[in-house]
């Protein structure tokens, strides 16, 4: 088994906010992230795929195909978007890095499986210091 990784970057705005809570509660839990006027991040999405090497190509999966899947299925929807308002697959959800990583997994997993490879990990870096890794369970 061998692992390959593709990174893509996107920039987006969001707000962390629980609509069932008072403004004070939101402020207390989410701090500046609850800012009504939103704030932005430059995210790095790293997608790791595992599989066996195809004897006809030497590849687990063609990285051009992986790049196109990531771009078409998620980056196009997320880049320069307001994650709370603009992204259909995030409607009604928290826009935390954790939730984003899980939703990205759900979208990419079946598309990658079409290429005889298996999604292994989604890593989403929200800042230089904060990142989430999701392995699908």
For the annotated catalytic residues, the residue numbers are 33, 80, 126
Show Cβ contacts of residue 37 under 8 Å, excluding neighbours closer than 6 positions.
none
For residues 74 and 124, which CB has a smaller minimum distance to Ni ion in the complex?
124
Q: Which stretch binds Ni ion (CB under 5 A): 31-39, 56-64, 101-109, 128-136?
A: 31-39
Round to whole Å and give the CA distance between 69 and 75: 9
Give the count of alpha carbons within 13 A of 15, CB side only. Answer: 16
Among 33, 75, 107, 132, binds Ni ion (CB under 5 A): 33
Q: Is 131 in the site for Ni ion (CB under 5 A)?
A: no
- Closest to Ni ion by CB, 17 vs 134, is 17
The Cα-based distances of 4 to 118, 133, 134 in angstroms read 10, 16, 16
Shortest CB 125 distance to Ni ion, Å? 12
Binding site for Ni ion (CB under 5 A): 33
């Amino acid at each position: 088994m061998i692992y390959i990784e593709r990174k893509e970057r996107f920039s987006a705005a969001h707000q962390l906010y629980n609509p069932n809570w008072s403004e004070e509660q939101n402020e207390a839990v989410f701090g500046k992230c609850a800012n009504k006027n939103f704030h932005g991040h430059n995210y790095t999405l790293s997608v790791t795929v595992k599989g066996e090497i195809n004897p006809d190509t030497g590849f687990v999966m063609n990285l051009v195909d992986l790049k196109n899947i990531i771009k078409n299925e998620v980056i196009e929807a997320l880049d320069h978007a307001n994650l709370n308002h603009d992204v259909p697959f995030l409607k009604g959800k928290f826009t935390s890095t954790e939730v984003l990583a899980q939703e990205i997994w759900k979208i990419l997993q079946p598309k990658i499986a079409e290429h005889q490879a298996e999604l292994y990990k989604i890593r989403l870096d929200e800042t230089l210091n904060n990142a989430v890794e999701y392995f699908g369970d």
